[in-house]
A and B are shown apart, each in its own frame.
Chain A
Amino acid sequence: MSARNRELLALVPASLLLTAGFAAIFIQQSDRLSDVSLTYGAVFLGLCLAGHLVIRFTLPYADPYLFPLVAVLACFGLVVIYRLDEDLAREQAQWFVVGLVLFAATIVLLRDFRVLERYRYTVAAAGLLLLLLPRVPGIGQQVNGAYLGVKLGPITFQPAEFGKIAIVIFLAAYLRDTRQVLVLGARRFLGVTIPPLKHFGPLLVVWGAAMFMLVFIRDLGSSLMFFGGFLALLYVATNRLSFVTIGFAMFAVGAWFFGTHVGHVHDRIATWQNPFDPVLYDKPGGSYQIAQSLFAQADGGLFGTGFGQATLNLPTGETILPAPHTDLIYAVITNELGLAGACGLLLVYLLFIERGFATAVRAQDSFSKLLATGLTAVFALQVFVIVGGVTKVIPLTGVTLPFVSYGGSSILANFILLALLLLVSDRARRPVRAR
């Protein structure tokens, strides 16, 4: 079976999953099965088909599993958000449509994605600008102490979501050039391989940027995601574990320094370590959120309470689980689908990541390899940062769960990421004579 037919076939169960999810919620809400769930399933399948056709005509050799896996993730997100708030789900569905259009546009406009290499500094500048935007007075927005949002008139968006892609493109291009020099020019000192300072300079800049984000964007999660993506690329480009070790040590030192010396970072870490401390619990922006996240997960147990059955509100209508559709959506999924459902979701992510890295392995040229690796690594880290935050592995920060959390910027950016991965994949898997 050809790759495209396999993709098409895989989209059917994804749509059925969505149909079943909506059916479950309708039964829960009104005690009857509505055929609306079939309509939603059909619309979802239609959208999937549209995306599939775009890929079929433009990228016939691309990996057949990436798109259906995204469809499964989108189905998780839509069903859970619908269960939380019907209006939000409708908006989310609209964002998926816009995302698909952007996805198609990216594929058409970047047929030869290697042009990106030439614009590396432009892309880097754009990326840094995007990261800085939230601190620009007048348009920057502070949410839960972190500067992640930008408000331009009626539009609010999170530039960091797009920034991460720009930074990865820049790093892939930059490391393709310098990776040889970094390795060959390195000297061994006290048993540790030290890269030449001249080429290490830009990397220090990246470290500086990560620290800058930690302090000024006030978001440990984003900076961990960026810096981790950077280290992953550095490691793949040079195959030198020592670089990564040095980089990680630098990040750890920086994080420790700011963690102990900067108030808000310190608070974040305190609430992470003692979520049930009564003082921290009642503080504004305190540990209430993480504590409620853990309570919700405990409520889920092994198999969950079932769709629509989690306790999210007090009888008076006040919410007890804050930000259930964005930051804590993983807690809602665990609450309603249990450990089993959460593992299923993580497995879907892991499969997506596996396909991403497989694309990198298959790619022939260094830039494609590094680009696919970087995009996949950043994607994986984003999942780790938010799920790790919700499950108290690391301090909780406001990063979205890709394709699942509510949020336009996140969906659009991740569709661009998907488009880039498919572009690399199509080129890598194309038979030699067809090139």
Chain B
Amino acid sequence: MNPPVIRLFGLVVVLFAVLIGFTSRWTVFQAEALRDNPENARVILEEQRIRRGAIRAADGTVLARSVRGPGDTFVRRYPAGGLFAHAVGYSYVDLGRSGIEKSHDDALTGRRTELVTAFESILGRSMDGDDVRTTLDPRGQRTAIAALGGRKGAVVALDVHTGAVRVMASVPGYDPNTLQRDFRRLTTDEANAPLLNRATQNGYPPGSTMKVVTAAAALDTGDFKPSSIVDGTNGKIISGVPLNNFGGESFGPIDLTTALTNSVNTVWAQVGEKLGRRTMQDYMERFGFYADPPLDYPDQQMTPSGVRKDGRLVPVTRRVVDVGRVAIGQGDLFATPLQMAEVAATIANGGVRMKPYLMSRAVDPDGRIVDEAKPEAAARVVSASTARDLTAMMKQVVREGTGTAAALEGVEVAGKTGTAELNLSGLNQPWFIGFTSDVAVAVTLERVQGGTGGTVAAPVAKAVLESLGSRQ
């Protein structure tokens, strides 16, 4: 009777192998799918149980932190209220995440590489996330929001040499502390779209601030010099349609410095046409147009800048694009304030565009720095001499041109105004981009009746530059 007993044991071994096979299937091979199953509450429960790291401003001010909620859960608090709403974002189990809360979720929840996690689980997993120190400047941010004064618009300020984002303001905002209660109202308020980050998520016609890009291309190609003379007569035919200067003012033959100082549309449109579609497209791409901004911020909350037809990006090389009007920031060109701030910062940085970033470092609960941002060049856009010449031209704009309202006492400001006309009855999109030796800023206001970049946006830029500059 012994052989059947042994065969029976063989059968039991096979049966147990099946058990181990199925256990492996659930624990390893299909574990990911089971975790993602909508009926599985574990992921959400675990998230609630993690003490997310704090998000701090550049000076250490707490912008977001976790406090004990019901049971062993944590909830998020935003001590700064709505001040950093768009940049910091929010994190709620039912609403999901946005902003830095989303783009740096791995650091904030303490999630590391698989190997480190396995090692830590052997040592007893720590359920605390890392703190994220941002580059944001509370003083500059507060100044920007105050200067916008409730008018819809956005301000972005970048550190010229590193690309650090020092101000990212968007008005109207919201209070992330009461978001769960307000969410329905905020999402249905289409007229104001308070959840929209106007600094990164929405493109606006950049108007004359685009002339900085056109001028950079003109000088860098060697086709033009600041002293090159172009005819600035009103009503020049551009792409078969007469183009007017601001206020219909007619200039004779003038040099480019004068043309920038007085923001002469006809001159810059001709320069754009002369440079050609390919060169304009090339330089726009070098400045960062037509690409997702390389910022550590959720992709869903950023949009690339460029010419848009029916909502889709269209390169300037295509025949449908009016390159002359693109050169002066019209012709269906849309740019985000972040993009225009990068344009200013690139010129300020001697022609090298730095990658913008929001997180300066991640610090684990034991105080060790686990991740640190290193300033990184994204592209050499124009030569140093081009940048120098263009800076001189832009200083002239603030000194005696359209941008005098941005002038600071004791610090030389370079800049360019923009006033994109949205319709014939004077509804404008005023802009100002500019920089000092270390800070670049872009300001725009949405749909202002009658205001121009010089009168509406330049004072905001001035206030922000002043608040950021005086700290140094």
Contact = CB atoms under 8 A, between A and B. Distances in A.
A302 B26 contact: no
Contact of A361 (B5, B13, B22, B71): B5
B40 A306 contact: no
A238 to B, nearest CB: 8
Given A294-B34, A301-B28, A338-B27, A391 B1 contact: no
Interface residues of A, number: 53
A339 B19 CA distance: 11
A314 B4 CA distance: 50
A300 B16 contact: no
A350 B122 CA distance: 27
Given A294-B34, A297-B27, A350-B13, A392 B4 contact: no
Interface in A272-319: 276, 281, 291, 294-295, 297-303, 305-306, 309, 311, 314-317
Interface string B336-359: 000000000000000000000000
A380 B22 contact: no
A343 B30 contact: no
A298 B8 contact: no
B225 to A, nearest CB: 66
B243 to A, nearest CB: 62
Interface in B90-127: 118, 121-122, 124-125
B12 A392 contact: no
A171 interface: no
B5 A357 contact: yes
Given A302-B27, A380-B12, A295 B37 contact: yes
A295 B27 contact: no
Interface in A341-362: 342-343, 346, 349-350, 353-354, 357, 360-361
Q: Which of B28, B46, B72, B73 has the most CB of A within 10 A?
A: B28
A391 B19 contact: yes
Nearest to A359: B5
B26 A298 contact: yes
B7 to A, nearest CB: 8
A276 B12 CA distance: 30
A388 interface: yes
A306 B73 CA distance: 20
A69 B25 CA distance: 27
Which A-B residue pairs are the 7 nearest by beta carbons? A315-B71, A298-B34, A391-B22, A297-B26, A298-B31, A339-B27, A357-B9
Interface stretch (A9-17, A135-143, A148-156, A229-237): A229-237
A239 B18 contact: no
A309 B9 CA distance: 36
Given A298-B30, A339-B23, 9 more contacts: A281-B39, A295-B42, A299-B31, A334-B23, A338-B27, A370-B1, A380-B15, A388-B22, A391-B26
A361 B37 CA distance: 48
Nearest to A240: B4
Interface string A317-335: 1001000000000000010
Contacts of B24: 339
Interface in A235-293: 235-237, 239, 276, 281, 291
A235 B18 CA distance: 22
Interface in B245-289: none
A384 interface: yes
A281 B39 CA distance: 9
A349 B16 contact: yes
A339 B24 CA distance: 6
B48 interface: yes
Given A302-B28, A315-B70, A353-B9, A388 B4 contact: no
Interface of B: 1-6, 8-9, 12-13, 15-16, 18-20, 22-28, 30-32, 34-35, 37, 39-42, 45-46, 48, 70-73, 118, 121-122, 124-125
B18 A276 contact: no
A429 B30 CA distance: 47
Nearest to A393: B22
Interface of A: 27, 232, 235-237, 239, 276, 281, 291, 294-295, 297-303, 305-306, 309, 311, 314-317, 320, 334, 338-339, 342-343, 346, 349-350, 353-354, 357, 360-361, 366, 369-370, 373, 377, 380, 383-384, 387-388, 391-393
B37 A303 contact: no
Nearest to A353: B12
Contacts of B72: 315
Given A384-B16, A391-B19, A301 B5 contact: no
Main secondary structure of the interface of B (DSSP, over half): helix
B73 A236 contact: no
Contacts of A369: 1, 5
Contacts, number: 137
Nearest to B73: A315
Nearest to B118: A303
Given A236-B4, A377-B8, A301 B27 contact: yes
B12 A350 contact: yes
A339 B4 contact: no
Q: Which of B2, B8, B15 has the most CB of A within 10 A?
A: B8
B19 A388 contact: yes
Given A236-B4, A237-B1, A299 B19 contact: no
B32 to A, nearest CB: 8
Contacts of B16: 346, 349-350, 383-384
A314 B41 contact: yes
A302 B27 CA distance: 6
Nearest to A179: B1
A309 B32 CA distance: 19
A300 B27 contact: yes
B20 A343 contact: yes
A354 B42 contact: no
Given A236-B5, A346-B20, A384-B16, A306 B121 contact: yes
A276 B26 CA distance: 14
A237 B8 CA distance: 12
Nearest to B40: A295
Contacts of A373: 5, 8
A361 B5 CA distance: 7
A392 B22 CA distance: 8
Nearest to B26: A297
Q: Which of A297, A346, A384 has the most CB of B within 10 A?
A: A297
B320 to A, nearest CB: 50
Q: Which of B3, B12, B122 has the most CB of A within 10 A?
A: B12
A24 to B, nearest CB: 9
A357 B12 CA distance: 11
A361 B2 contact: yes
A205 B3 CA distance: 27
13 contacts: A236-B4, A236-B8, A239-B4, A299-B35, A303-B121, A315-B70, A316-B70, A334-B27, A338-B27, A339-B23, A339-B28, A350-B12, A357-B12
Given A387-B19, A391-B26, A235 B4 contact: yes
B98 to A, nearest CB: 24
Contacts of B18: 388, 393
Contacts of A298: 26-27, 30-32, 34-35, 40
A408 B121 CA distance: 35
Contacts of A342: 20, 23, 27
Contacts of B71: 315-317
Contacts of A305: 121, 125
Given A314-B41, A377-B8, A294 B3 contact: no
Nearest to B31: A298
Contacts of B48: 315
Q: Which of A281, A294, A361 has the most CB of B within 10 A?
A: A294
A239 B3 contact: yes
A361 B35 CA distance: 46
A298 B33 CA distance: 9
A360 B15 contact: no
A302 B48 CA distance: 24
Contact of A295 (B13, B15, B34, B70): B34
Nearest to A354: B9
Contacts of A303: 118, 121-122
